[in-house]
Amino acid sequence: MACPAKFWMENVVPDAAEHGKNILIRLYKEDPAALGFFPKYKDIPVSELGSNADVKEQGAVVVKALGELLKLKGQHESQLHAMAESHKNTYKIPVEYFPKIFKITDAYLQEKVGAAYAAIQAAMNVAFDQIADGLKTQYQTV
Ligand code: HEM
C-alpha cells in the first residue's frame, strides 16, 4: 500500500526548508493576499523572498507539521484542533486557504519529484482532502 507519510519523510522532509519555501512562494504568487498574513516578511516583494531566511524557516515548519499529520493517518483530530485554533483565531487565516495550499503542493510535487510522486499522488490527495476537511470541521468549533 502506497504510504503518503513515507513518501513525505523520504522525499520532502530532507529538504524541508527549500521545498516549503517554494510552496509558500507559489501560494503568495497565486494569491498575493496570502502574503499579508505573515508579519515577518509581508512587506517584502515576492520576487525577493527566495533568499529570505524567515520564509525558509516557515517553509520548514509547514513541511514538518504536515509530515506529522500524514503519519497520523487520519487519526489527527486533536492536532487539527490545535492547528485550527491558531490559524483561525491567532493568524486569522480563512479556511479556504488550506485546499488552496494543498492544490499548489500537489502541482509542485508533480513537477519537482515526478515519477516517485506519480506512484503516491492519488493517496496523497486523499490525505490532503482529509486534512482540509478536518480543518474545516475544526474551524467550526474553535
Ligand atoms: C499545509 C498546511 C499548513 C500547515 C501544516 C501549517 C502549519 C503551521 C505551524 C505548525 C505553524 C506554527 C505553530 C502554530 O502556531 O500552529 C504555523 C504558523 C503560521 N501559519 Fe500555517 N500551516 C499551514 C498552512 C497555512 C496557510 C495556508 C497560511 C496562510 C495563508 C498559514 C499561515 C500561518 C501564519 C501566519 C503562521 C504564523 C507565522 C509566524 O510565526 O509569523 N498557514 N503554521
Closest-CA residue to 93 (of 122, 120, 62) = 62
- For a mutational test of ligand 1's pocket, the pick from 26, 52, 61, 136, i.e. the residue with the most ligand atoms closer than 8 A to its C-beta, is 61
**Alpha-carbon span 135 to 93, nearest angstrom:** 11
State the Cα angle at 99 between 95 and 103, rounded to 5°.
155
Closest-CA residue to 66 (of 134, 128, 136, 138) = 128
The model's pTM is 0.97
Res. 85 pLDDT band, cuts 50 70 90: very high
Q: Indicate whether 1 pLDDT > 70.
A: no
Res. 76 pLDDT band, cuts 50 70 90: confident
**Distance from the alpha carbon of residue 37 to the mean position of ligand 1, in angstroms:** 9
Domains belonging to the chain, first-starting first, are 4-139 (1.10.490.10)
Cα dihedral 117, 105, 20, 23 in deg (nearest 10): 130
